[in-house]
Amino acid sequence: MLLVILYAGMSYFLASSVANADRTNPFSTPEQYGLSYTNVEFPTRGSAISLSGWHIHGSEAAPTIIFVHGFESNRAGSEAVALAADLRETGFNSLLFDLRGHGSSGDGQVSGGYFEQYDLLGAYDYLVEQGVASDTIGVIGFSMGAAIAALAVSEEPSIRALVLDSPFADISDLISQEVARKTPLPEWLVPLFTPGTKLAARVVYGIKLGDIAPVKAVTRIDYPIVLVHGQDDTRIPSDHGARVHAASHVDSELWLVPDSGHVDAFLNYPKQYVRLVEDYFLERLTKE
């Protein structure tokens, strides 16, 4: 009986690691970069959860890029405003927003991407309702936001361009690594709790952990995507990005960034990063 209780307790602990997050506030704003923008609110697709964001204005003729931040981050995380400012130099519009349970957005079940994919789809719906042509909308996601982006784009064929920065391949693998990093448990032992963790996540939180697998989601995307991953990433090791790349369209590009940790590529190599992202989005989203 004691073993059963211990197993159930550990399974619940592992499930809760993806179902709870602390809110953080933006450390930079569009004003600091002299950007023209509008404060916006829109619902997530399929529910009334209100999401808050910044719609940064560039050229009407240029593509619009939706940014998706990571776990316990916010719309300004991963130097997103600085990147949006650089993209604005080429005319790009951007939509930066807070996921449910993060930043200034409404409460909603945090889920490691399972429910958050509908937040991204809500952002896409907002842009379309504002008159933005669907074939000029691209997505860039960071860390958990990259996983969210892969899941959402695989379900919305109208989105025709995707950049993933530091994605995990499968959340089950990431949970094992995170537990090994944060607890005395060895990584090899954690998979023994996988069945119980999946059950606890579904029963307690309504989360299907087995569905949070970008490595599977990208197989449903029928065009080339771009992946960026730091070679020195210890939070989500670069083999995750390599696995997602291997499963994606044959013409997809993978940039394994030297001397860079988790989501550090833009910070360490800003010119190369912006050139890669701009060239890709212009090729995919610019009308002839």
User: Is 199 inside any structural domain?
Assistant: no
Which pLDDT belongs to residue 179? 67
Domain carrying residue 138: 38-167+222-285
- Number of folded domains that form the chain: 1
User: Is 240 inside any structural domain?
Assistant: yes
- Write out the two tokens for 167: 């994605």
User: Is 5 inside any structural domain?
Assistant: no
The CA-CA-CA angle for residues 121, 122, 123, to 5°, reads 90
Average pLDDT for consecutive 10-residue bins of the chain (288 residues)? Answer: 72 77 92 96 96 96 96 94 97 97 94 96 98 96 97 97 97 77 69 81 90 97 98 95 98 98 97 98 86
User: Is 22 inside any structural domain?
Assistant: no
- Write out the two tokens for 14: 């592992």
DSSP secondary structure letter of residue 65 = E
User: Is 176 inside any structural domain?
Assistant: no
- Write out the two tokens for 265: 């590529």
User: Is 259 inside any structural domain?
Assistant: yes
What does the alpha-carbon distance between residue 102 and residue 226 come to, in Å, rounded to a whole number? Answer: 26
Which pLDDT belongs to residue 9? 77
User: Is 181 inside any structural domain?
Assistant: no
Question: Which CATH number characterizes residue 44's domain?
Answer: 3.40.50.1820
In sequence order, the β-bridge partners of residue 96 are 54, 67
Are 45 and 96 a contacting pair, CB within 8 Å? no
Which pLDDT belongs to residue 186? 72
pTM: 0.94
User: Is 109 inside any structural domain?
Assistant: yes
What does the alpha-carbon distance between residue 250 and residue 183 come to, in Å, rounded to a whole number? Answer: 38
Which pLDDT belongs to residue 228? 98
